[in-house]
A and B are shown apart, each in its own frame.
Chain A
Amino acid sequence: MKLQVNGSPREVDAEPEMPLLWALRDVLGMTGTKYGCGIAQCGACSVLVDGVVTRSCVTPVGSVAESKITTIEAMEEDALGQKVVAAWVKHQVPQCGYCQSGQVMAAVSLLKENAHPSEEDVRAAMINLCRCGTYNAIHAALSDLAGHAGKETA
């Protein structure tokens, strides 16, 4: 099967039922996208499918064969992705980092749709779990990106 991953056509030797997550990680060897729960609860596996944040652990790879898939590996090739990564670094967001690929993807998806999300928009969009509790730092980074003052973290 053929996939469009980060702007390149990729031949993927997998049955259509295989979740996109495992096609990326195992078949294509792209391990930036993470497995956390496998049931679309945590969001560590978030990627963009045609620009929309999608939980790849429950997305059969066969269902996205016609779509453009963007993963964390390509974030810095995208102008908005660069900005989000820079904000993540500036606000020292990650701790263990395991959920952060998915958090960055969720943030990029939000900002692609809405360059100036309100606090409420941010709250509605940024629903991925983080066991290290970086939620306030994520919020601060997004407030910065959205152009308004952030939630106090210290």
Chain B
Amino acid sequence: MASLFDETKTQGAGGQTEALFAPEGTQPVNLSRRRFLMGSAGVASGALVLGFGIPLAAPRVRAAEAGAGKAFDVPAFIEIRPDNTLRFLSPFMEGGQGTFTAMAQIVGEELDMDPAVFTVEAAPAGEVFQIMNGRRVTGGSNSVRSSYDTMRRIGASGRAMLLQAGAKRLGVPLAQLSTQPGKVVHAASGRSVTYGELAADARDMAVPDAASVTLRDPSTFRWIGKPVARLDMHMKSTGKAVYAIDCKVEDLLQAAVQHAPRLGLQPGVVRNEAAVKAMPGVHSVHVLEGAVAVVAPYWWHARQAADALDVEWKEPANPDDVRYMPADFATEAFAAKLAAETGRGEQAETAGDVAGAFASAATTLEATYRSQYLHHAQLEPPSTLARFNADGTLDMWLPNQVPEMFQAAIAKQAGLEPAQVKIHSPLLGGFFGRHFLYKDGNPYPHAIALAKATGRPVKVIWSREEEFLRDPLRPMAVVKFRGALDKDGWPVGLDVVSVCEGPSEGIANARGKELDDSALEGITGKSYAIANRRIAQAYVKNPPTLAYWRSVGNSMNDFFYESFLDEMADKGGKDPYALRLRLLAGNARLTNLLKAAVDLSGGWKRGPFTAADGSRRARGLAMASPFGSEAAAVAEVSIKDGQVVVHDIWEAIDPGSIVNPAIVAAQVNSAVALGLSQVLVEGADYEDGLPVARNFDAYSILPPDRMANVHVKIIESGAKMGGIGEPPLPAVPPAVANAVSALTGKRVRAMPLSRETFTT
């Protein structure tokens, strides 16, 4: 079978070896005769190991039964230990968003095991963990919402197995048994047996049909929907959490690199190679693709030497063949170039008769907005540890959001089969979109090359300076809005052209057949009833490499749209709250949400007004519909020393339903911080083809004294479950910008606001 887990074939009690997972083509419904297995390689003896496939969605299963495609197995990996604790291998990475805890809550709820006894780790790369329609991505705020039903069924199947084992052990009919957290209970006799004690027996029990397992009545949930404490708080408060940068193996060498100053250049002669080799601690110097590396037992030695390298950097023969950074690239000039673009672009969303609406409009207005390039600026600099093993396999430790994609890319570079590459995914020291597979944006190619060249395990760490030279950026866009108002001042027409390159087409370094959704999301997909609209993208390639950044296109597009919506309100003499309510008439979910945000703030009070401390303040509001959730935010601002102070953010979020309100509130706080950082202080600039900022001295991220008070209202409307990590972000920048405009009378059309001086 093709499973990655061939290596974890398990020794049953009788010594027979069995594979854990169904071979390709096996229909999930046939898994009922499969058995739970114990004692797999690396797993504590006597443990219950669940590895099984269950149907994710009935339509897909029916398709498989009809022979329309391969069976859709959804595996998971649970280990119940003799001490009645549990290890769960999560398909999703933990980077602070609380996913590991959410997985424990969902599985634990159905398994009947307290999430607090779970140890959760990131699953290795492997087809069996690709549970998102054959994919596996920690991104798009998808982890919990994409796997909620699957994880419940996995937990429930495990409970059913333990009940069967309990019936045998206690010698009573299954129907007389129930469970309490971590144990099977026979109420009639008062006897019970722990899951840990049953783990060895449970493997011999038949796996129930996934469709037949009984899920808990949600009204009886003990952990789902509750503010369960996150599992990693103590280890993260005591320095015990292990990130990729902390990983060590025997005989390890470490490496630092000097990247080509501009992407596309290649190293020629290292003019001072002999001198660098003679520097303290240096093991060796290596010329790599687009970089030169120094290897040493201690990273600081490698870093000192890499910084000292005097490299001849050569222009590429064919700049068009690579993502090439020209020597004259400057962000200000590039913004001007985008603004000068007059094309009408390609339509992404149209409705009604835009030309007619503008022709018959009583009033029209137009405005041009722009966004800035942004770094991810996750606090853990990227690193990768590569170790070639004697058996021809390769172990890789690296921060990643897509292990199977990295596995494939690594196998290709290393000349191995993917199954020979073992991907270890430690905790992420922040990610925000940083750890997708980005060409030229990840250190793994260096680690592979250096481990090969030295014949020893090598950990490459990119210094912060080298990271800011290769961190792919949130795109810059210039967006041209035209609005049409009727004689009463209400919006009737909207015409938008975003001059940009979307992150997806930037990452691919090629345009797709369809328009890039991630370029325009947040300008498209809005719910306001503006009958006539045309939203288009005028593609202009960006020289810097591009990336997904928390909330992706929405991170800037809602700023553009919601700010211009306030401009239309002002032009038509309407209050921005009243205008939004009118444009959302008949949309109960969003009307309720908007009112909830405003109520949370104590009622709509745009201002300007004088606060208790004597400062002049105003409020702004904005909405966003990112990643399956809905959000509305109110911001209160004042001006101090010419700069914007954000005092409070009140945010209401409707993700449909939730798993952990405390994690949701923490994520709203986090997204508010990143939204404020973007709108207030952040921007990655280039001059002469080089980044102006290479570290946090010149690249500002939100410092503690600029954080706002954050007030959160969670609304569970019962709509389809949406995301949580990203959705609270996009409404924040426009809420702030609208408040600033209300306060100062000056319209804010570019981020960050720190580049302007304000007066009230």
Contacts and interface: CB of A to CB of B under 8 A. Distances in A.
Interface of A: 14-15, 18-19, 22, 25-27, 29, 31-39, 41-42, 44, 71-73, 75-76, 85, 88-89, 92-101, 104, 123, 126-139, 151-154
Given A39-B464, A39-B696, 19 more contacts: A14-B298, A18-B300, A31-B245, A32-B239, A32-B240, A37-B697, A97-B96, A97-B429, A98-B429, A133-B702, A134-B670, A135-B673, A136-B669, A136-B710, A151-B709, A153-B669, A153-B709, A153-B710, A154-B711
A95 B670 contact: yes
A132 B704 contact: no
A129 B237 contact: no
Given A29-B248, A136-B710, A154-B711, A37 B299 contact: no
A75 B233 CA distance: 15
Given A32-B240, A123-B705, A131-B701, A98 B379 contact: yes
Nearest to B705: A123
A39 B704 contact: no
B692 to A, nearest CB: 16
Given A135-B704, A153-B669, A39 B298 contact: no
A128 B380 CA distance: 14
B430 A131 contact: yes
Contacts of B378: 96, 98, 131
B64 interface: no
27 contacts: A14-B298, A15-B280, A26-B254, A26-B300, A31-B246, A36-B381, A37-B697, A39-B697, A75-B238, A75-B239, A85-B238, A94-B232, A94-B237, A95-B670, A96-B96, A96-B427, A97-B235, A97-B237, A97-B427, A99-B379, A127-B705, A129-B701, A131-B432, A133-B670, A134-B666, A138-B704, A152-B711
A38 B464 contact: yes
A99 B241 CA distance: 11
B670 A38 contact: no
B218 interface: no
A89 B233 contact: yes
B361 interface: no
Contacts of B632: none
B97 interface: yes
Contact of A34 (B380, B677, B711): B380
The 10 closest A-B pairs by CB, nearest first: A133-B673, A32-B239, A97-B236, A95-B96, A98-B429, A96-B96, A72-B239, A94-B236, A22-B300, A41-B696
Contacts of A37: 464, 695-697
Interface of B: 95-98, 229-230, 232-243, 245-246, 248, 254, 280, 297-300, 377-381, 427-432, 461, 463-465, 662, 665-666, 668-674, 677, 695-697, 701-705, 707, 709-712
B237 A89 contact: yes
Contacts of B673: 130, 132-133, 135
A36 B464 contact: yes
Contacts of B665: 153-154
Contacts of A44: 379
Q: Which of A31, A71, A95, A139 has the most CB of B within 10 A?
A: A95
B226 to A, nearest CB: 13
A131 B433 CA distance: 13
**Interface residue SS majority, chain A:** loop
B670 A98 contact: no
Contacts of B671: 133
Nearest to B234: A89
A136 B427 CA distance: 23
Given A29-B248, A92-B230, A152-B711, A36 B704 contact: no
Contacts of B702: 133
A33 B669 contact: no
Contacts of A94: 96, 232-233, 236-237
A139 B707 CA distance: 11
A136 B238 contact: no
Nearest to A86: B237
A32 B677 CA distance: 27
A59 to B, nearest CB: 12
Contacts of A39: 464, 695-697
A104 B237 contact: yes
Nearest to B463: A38
